[in-house]
Structure 1
Amino acid sequence: MFHRTRIGDVNYSAEGGFALLAVLAFLLLFAALLLPFSSAARLGALTSSHNFERSRLSYAAESVNAYAAVKLTSDLFWANSMTRDDGKSCRIKDLTLTLRIVNHAGLIDLNVAGVTTIAAGLKALAMSDEQAAAVAGSIVAFRSLQAGSAPASGPQPDFGFKHAPFEDVVELLDFAEMRRFTPEQLSEIFTVDSHSAFIARDFAPKPLQPILAKLDGSAREGSNAFPAYTLVTKISRRGESAIDARIVTTGDMRGSGRRTPSLPLSPSANAAFPECGSLLGADMTAWLAEAFS
């Protein structure tokens, strides 16, 4: 009797141990299956947070450009001070902001400039004198309303001559010879928004200034009746950043702006950036501070 009871106890203990092992195995299997979902959920949360922060920074950069567009019209002194360098930087709490404004009065309008002036812009991009002259002739023919005006030996665009004004600087990439340059490089020299043959050399990019000085009046200087600007704002915060770049027009042709490739930004090397109040004004600075508080 005692012997059977002990055998029963042993069997009961063995069955209990097996059940415990089965439960542990099930828990381990469940954990193994759950871990990828947990990691995916965590990654999704991080991605969502990343996208939200990028969106906030993007909207803030757009707002700064909208503010700058109004400021360009209302404060001529501020406008002149902002269009003579490659970017000004400032800080608001843990935000770092860089704003660059390019005055198109210093750029070459592809729809108005003559062959000599356009060739000057191409030489500023380090194209040889001979190739610059040939490509410039084809560029003028590209926009010419008259068919048959293309130079016989000049470069030919891939899709034929447009015989209509340039709508964007990137149309220069229709020429194979221009594809060594990026849209950003082209936008540093050329424009389609000034609608003027006048070039303000003070606002011209540095590589173009000495070449314009040698044109003997081919590039006329004077005021521009239709001011246009490229606005580029970059805002960074806690490792995230966003850039908004757009072209705006002021004066009688005032427009809200169209997006454009971002231009290079060269902020001051000084890490101790000044507060943004002196750059953006108290109201805009306070709005940004409140938005990211």
Structure 2
Amino acid sequence: MLIVSAIVVPFAVTAKTRLMIANNEVEQERLSLLAEGLVNVMSSELTDGSRTERLLLDWTPTGCRSGEFVFDVRIQNHSGLIDLNAADTQLLSLGFASLGFDRQIAEALAKAATQFRGNANAFATQAEPPTFVGPLENKLAPFESVSELQEFSGLASTPLHDLYGVFTVNSKRGTLSLDHAPNRVRAILADRSGSGASVLVGATEAAAFTVEVTARRDTSGIAGQAGFIIERFPASAAGFRRLSRSPAAEIAEIAPISSRNCDGLFGSEAAQILRGWAS
């Protein structure tokens, strides 16, 4: 019996462990699909303009509860981000400073970014020696994605999600809307008032939004996440289109939400579906 037990027990433990892992993976997939569906709901509301004024558009977290499920929602209006192709060196420098770089490094990164994208005199840009924080070779064309910043030696270790939280290629503006700027950018602007950066006070119409939803079950440590950069697109039945997927962030613990239901956040129709799904 001891010999049989010694042979059988490890197989039983392994099988149980594999079953638990499989169940956890299924649960995470279900939560991720739910989060993606809610991103679509929020995107539709944003692009038809029906609830834009009632939503926080500066990456401030908000959320709600439906039964045992808790949802964290973050939305960023891209007019509050710094456009890599349109911003001048002063504004770019403030963006890099908001990521924790000192003034000298931030200014060097801003110069490297303008050299990378090129200017009216491409030959002069090419002739400039590469900066110690820049890429090995300048593109001499507009940034196509914020992810290209990781080609810079000074930014290679900066998390991609952090870069997307400050910069964009979708606003097409050389200005920054202070009303929609994320907290880290507002903080550096307050610290460097009078910097000469092109900052606007007051809401401006957005060309694009980042929408991110995290879903978690109270009784489980498993969470699902979905995030996309979207823009208005009237030709689509949904009224919007996805430009790209937002890089995944490390899923933080969602702050407890004891009383707020999801009607005010996702709308009554979506909230009713959530209540049925959660029951």
Fold match (TM-score > 0.5): yes
In 2 relative to 1, CA 83–45 (structure 1 residues): closer, same or farther, beyond 3 Å?
A: same
Structure 1 or 2: larger helix share?
A: 1
Partner of 1:89: 63
Partner of 1:172: 149
| Mapping 1:12-91, distance limit 5 Å | 27-79=1-53, 81-84=55-58, 86-91=60-65
Equivalents in 2 of 1:198, 1:230: separation in Å? 18
Q: Which has the higher contact order (CA 8 A, sep 6+)?
A: 2
TM-score in terms of structure 1 length: 0.79
Q: Percent identity?
A: 24
Aligned amino acid, residue 249 of structure 1: E
1:206 aligns with 2:180: no
In 2 relative to 1, CA 223–277 (structure 1 residues): closer, same or farther, beyond 3 Å?
A: closer
Q: Given that residues 198 and 223 in structure 1 are in contact (C-alpha distance below 8 angstroms), is that contact kept between their aligned partners in structure 2?
A: no
Give 3-state SS (helix, strand or coil) of 2:214's partner. strand
In 2 relative to 1, CA 126–45 (structure 1 residues): closer, same or farther, beyond 3 Å?
A: closer
Equivalents in 2 of 1:42, 1:217: separation in Å? 59
Equivalents in 2 of 1:258, 1:136: separation in Å? 24
Which of 80, 102, 114 is matched with 1:106 structurally?
A: 80
Partner of 1:182: 159
Which of 215, 220, 232 is matched with 2:212 structurally?
A: 232
Partner of 1:242: 224
CA-based RMSD: 2.8
| Mapping 1:141-290, distance limit 5 Å | 141-144=115-118, 146-150=122-126, 151-152=128-129, 154-155=131-132, 157-209=134-186, 210=189, 214-216=194-196, 218-219=198-199, 227-237=207-217, 238-239=219-220, 240-251=222-233, 254-262=240-248, 271-290=257-276
Partner of 1:13: none
Aligned amino acid, residue 197 of structure 1: G
More moved, 219-228 vs 67-76: 219-228
Equivalents in 2 of 1:250, 1:266: separation in Å? 29
Q: How many residues end up aligned between the 2 structures? A: 267
More moved, 51-60 vs 172-181: 172-181
Give CA deviations for 1:151-196 in whole Å, capped at 9, x if unaligned.
4373363441112221221221222222353222222211111122
Give 3-state SS (helix, strand or coil) of 1:244's partner. strand
Aligned amino acid, residue 285 of structure 1: A
Distance apart, 1:271 and its partner CA: 4.2
Equivalents in 1 of 2:261, 2:10: separation in Å? 45
5+ residue gaps, structure 1: 1-26
Q: Given that residues 86 and 266 in structure 1 are in contact (C-alpha distance below 8 angstroms), is that contact kept between their aligned partners in structure 2?
A: no
TM-score in terms of structure 2 length: 0.83
Give CA deviations for 1:106-132 in whole Å, capped at 9, x if unaligned.
100001111121112122223232332
Give CA deviations for 1:243-278 in whole Å, capped at 9, x if unaligned.
112211125694224212245888985541411111
Give CA deviations for 1:82-109 in whole Å, capped at 9, x if unaligned.
2145211110000001101011111000
